[in-house]
């Protein structure tokens, strides 16, 4: 246990005595290792550890927050007094908190803690990936590979009696290849990550990841300019989950609703998407990148259906926003570290599978674009407008996937895309691990979807 239970009770009491209505202790012990190989040389190999606690005190509409790396009783009490003073000066009296441990099952088992694996074995994975990628073709001029692992132990206790903890282990690996040819410089990337230990590399081969990244880059050497204008777009399973995360998911976070900066405000119970679409956020999802036992406010992770058969059913909630609405948290209160306040965040967000054969979806598309992988993008949650990069895409002609396309953008509006999905495949898959940024904080998230078709979406290509 990061902090003794008796000490936690004293710290919470100190925060409440100073005038708070609600007090919370969030303690964290995080360690991790990262390594990067670039052009055959190991450029970075580092390990780090960070410990500390954040104290939150709420009085009315005001929140006071203080954090400290001193986990002693005196250090924690000093932070509690500072947070309480920020929430409300003065106060008095004594309040006792009786803590009751919250039980939440771990989403998966960890077999091999990465911290028990020698750094030399981690570097060896990078070198294997470099060799495999270069064997994919002579046009490959540069290979970079990144390894990372982390272990994050947390403890959350608050004045409502919650006492919870989690031990989150994550491992990831990524390879990027650069090729040069008549079409200029092209890149290919492949990555994998999960809330598991070093056993990740029993499930995935770094040689296969590197070969796939190399082949993706090589394929782009023969790519033609992407079309421009509104065309049908088929998105491959797992390749476009980030679109739903960014263009729809953020707009369903309750803090955006409360601030009136979401296009989905006031639409619970309304049809906001094609009846073929069911959108879920699920923190209990096995070893996926956004999986957790409890959120960073001590509430058990949940499987929350946000849109069901096209109808908006609910938003995602943290404790603070849920408290104002007189309801329970949905397990979506997350923070980057003990130095940050929690806010509403996604975990694993995805569209459920449908019933159609994915190959038939392509055959029923006379002309369009097939997106195998989307890159980063931007979205305006108030309007739902977005721009995403296509990092691997192909032309669809006469119901067949034909020539590869150069990188281009998809431009559209989240609610319109949801309404314009006209067929959904039966081949669901999660995509690559990601880090979601919001208000200066980053947290690990997952996303996914089956193969599906958007009847019309603007492609910002250069072909005429």
The Cα-based distances of 285 to 122, 152, 198, 236, 335 in angstroms read: 27, 18, 19, 21, 19
Report how far residue 76's alpha carbon sits from residue 82's, in angstroms, rounded to the nearest whole number.
10
Helix (H, G, I), strand (E, B) or coil at 387: strand
pLDDT tier, 70 (very low <50, low <70, confident <90, very high otherwise): very high
The stretch 72-86 carries a mean pLDDT of: 92
Mean pLDDT of the chain: 93
Helix (H) or strand (E) holding 171: strand 162-181
Residue-wise pLDDT tens digits, 111-124: 999 999 999 999 99
Nearest CA to 8 among 151, 153, 164? 164
pTM: 0.94
Please return the burial class of 376, using the count of CB atoms within 10 Å of its CB with bins 0-12, 13-18 and 19+.
exposed
Measured between its terminal Cα atoms, the distance across the chain in Å is 64
Report how far residue 234's alpha carbon sits from residue 256's, in angstroms, rounded to the nearest whole number.
30
**For residue 80, pLDDT beyond 80:** yes
Residue-wise pLDDT tens digits, 382-421: 899 999 999 999 999 999 999 999 989 999 999 999 999 9
Residue-wise pLDDT tens digits, 261-297: 999 999 999 999 999 999 999 999 989 999 999 999 9
Q: What is the dihedral of CA 326, 331, 334, 338, to 10 degrees?
A: 90
């Amino acid at each position: 246990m990061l902090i003794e239970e008796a000490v936690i009770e004293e710290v919470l009491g100190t925060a409440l005595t100073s005038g708070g209505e609600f007090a919370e202790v969030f303690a964290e012990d995080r360690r991790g290792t990262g390594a990067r190989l670039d052009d055959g040389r190991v450029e970075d190999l580092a390990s780090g550890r960070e410990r500390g606690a954040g104290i939150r005190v709420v009085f009315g509409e005001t929140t006071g927050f203080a954090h400290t790396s001193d986990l002693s009783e005196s250090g924690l009490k000093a932070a509690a007094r500072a947070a309480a003073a920020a929430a409300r000066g003065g106060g008095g009296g004594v309040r006792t908190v009786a803590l009751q441990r919250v039980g939440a099952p771990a989403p998966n088992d960890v077999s091999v803690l990465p911290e028990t694996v020698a750094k030399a074995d981690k570097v060896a994975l990078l070198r294997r990936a470099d060799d495999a990628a270069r064997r994919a073709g002579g046009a490959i001029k540069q290979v970079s590979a990144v390894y990372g692992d982390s272990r994050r132990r947390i403890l959350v206790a608050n004045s409502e009696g919650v006492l919870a903890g989690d031990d989150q282990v994550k491992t990831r690996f990524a390879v990027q290849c650069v090729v040069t040819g008549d079409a200029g410089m092209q890149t290919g990337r492949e990555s994998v990550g999960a809330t598991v230990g070093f056993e990740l590399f029993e499930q995935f081969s770094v040689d296969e990841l590197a070969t796939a990244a190399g082949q993706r880059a090589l394929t782009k050497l023969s790519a033609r300019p992407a079309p421009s204008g509104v065309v049908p777009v088929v998105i491959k399973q797992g390749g476009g989950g980030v679109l739903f995360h960014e263009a729809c998911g953020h707009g369903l976070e309750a803090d955006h609703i409360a601030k009136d900066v979401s296009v989905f405000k006031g639409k619970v119970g309304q049809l906001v998407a094609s009846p073929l679409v069911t959108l879920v956020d699920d923190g209990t999802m096995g070893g996926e990148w956004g999986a957790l036992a409890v959120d960073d406010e001590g509430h058990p992770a949940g499987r929350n259906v946000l849109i069901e058969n096209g109808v908006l059913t609910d938003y995602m909630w943290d404790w603070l926003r849920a408290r104002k609405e007189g309801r329970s948290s949905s397990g979506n209160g997350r923070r980057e570290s003990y130095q940050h306040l929690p806010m509403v965040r996604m975990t694993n967000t995805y569209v459920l599978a449908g019933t159609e054969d994915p190959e038939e979806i392509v055959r029923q598309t006379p002309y369009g674009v097939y997106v195998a992988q989307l890159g980063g993008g931007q979205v305006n949650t108030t309007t739902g407008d977005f721009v995403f990069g296509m990092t691997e895409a192909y032309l669809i002609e006469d119901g067949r996937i034909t020539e590869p396309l150069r990188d281009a953008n998809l431009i559209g509006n989240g609610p319109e895309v949801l309404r314009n999905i006209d067929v959904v495949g039966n081949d669901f898959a999660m995509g690559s691990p990601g880090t979601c940024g919001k208000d200066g904080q980053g947290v690990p998230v997952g996303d996914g979807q089956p193969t599906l078709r958007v009847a019309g979406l603007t492609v910002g290509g250069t072909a005429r």
